[in-house]
Amino acid sequence: MRIHVTVNGSEHDVETEANMTLLDFLRDGLRLTGTKECCAVGECGACTVLVDGRAVNSCLMLTAESDGGEVTTIEGLAAGGKLSVLQDAFLASGAVQCGFCIPGQVVAAHHLLARNPHPTLDEVKEGLSGNLCRCGGYMQICAAVVAAGRANR
Ligand code: FES
Ligand code: FES
C-alpha cells in the first residue's frame, strides 16, 4: 500500500508492505539507524519514537499505521545540528555508557518533558519505566532528565 508520512520534518510518499514495522521502515527504508532494535516485542523501549507526539515502540507499530502522521526519531531532536538541552544533560551527567538504549531513553524523556517540564526524580523513573538499560546506568539517566527539567525553568 502507498502511504504518506512525515519523518523529522521531511515528507515521504512510499510504497510499504502491509506487515512492515515502523522500526524497519525507519532503519532499513530511511537509514535512520539511531532508533535501535533490541527485543522487537515491545519490552525494552530501544525503538521508541514519537508518532503525532505520542511515544510508541516502533517495533510494535506497522508503517501503514503512520499514514498521514508525523514521526520524530532521535535524529529529529537536534535542531539545526545543535544538541537539545536534554541531550546536553545526558552528556553532562555521564548517562551514556554503551549508548545502545540511549536514543530510546532520550526520546521517551523528551516526551515526558513535553507533558511535565519539571519532573521529580520519581516522575522520571515512572516516565522512563518502559525503557530498559543493560548497562545499569539508570541513576545517571534519571539525573540527566531531572537536570534538563531544571534547565526548563
Ligand atoms: S525493540 Fe521495540 S520495545 Fe524492544
Ligand atoms: S547505556 Fe548501554 S544499554 Fe543503556
CA distance 44 to 32: 19
Domain 2-76 CATH assignment equals 3.90.550.10:
no
pLDDT tens for 5-19 read 999 999 999 999 999
Question: Can you give the residue ranges of every domain in the chain?
Answer: 2-76, 79-151
Report residue 153's pLDDT band, with 50, 70 and 90 as the boundaries. Answer: low
Query: 152: CA distance to ligand 2 center in Å?
Result: 25
What does the alpha-carbon distance between residue 19 and residue 92 come to, in Å, rounded to a whole number? 40
- Ligand 1 neighbours by CB, cut-off 6 Å: 37-40, 42-47, 57, 59
Ligand 2 centroid from CA 6, angstroms: 29
Architecture per CATH, domain 79-151, reads as Orthogonal Bundle (1.10)
Nearest listed ligand to the Cα of residue 44: 1
Q: Which three cell numbers stand for residue 69?
A: 502522521
Contact 99, 131 (CB under 8 A): no
How close is the Cα of 41 to the center of ligand 1, in Å?
6
Instruction: Decide if 2-76 and 79-151 have a common fold.
Output: no
Instruction: Give tens-digit pLDDT for 90-138.
Output: 999 999 889 999 999 999 999 999 999 999 999 999 999 999 999 877 9
Q: Whose CA is nearest to atom 2 of ligand 2?
A: 98
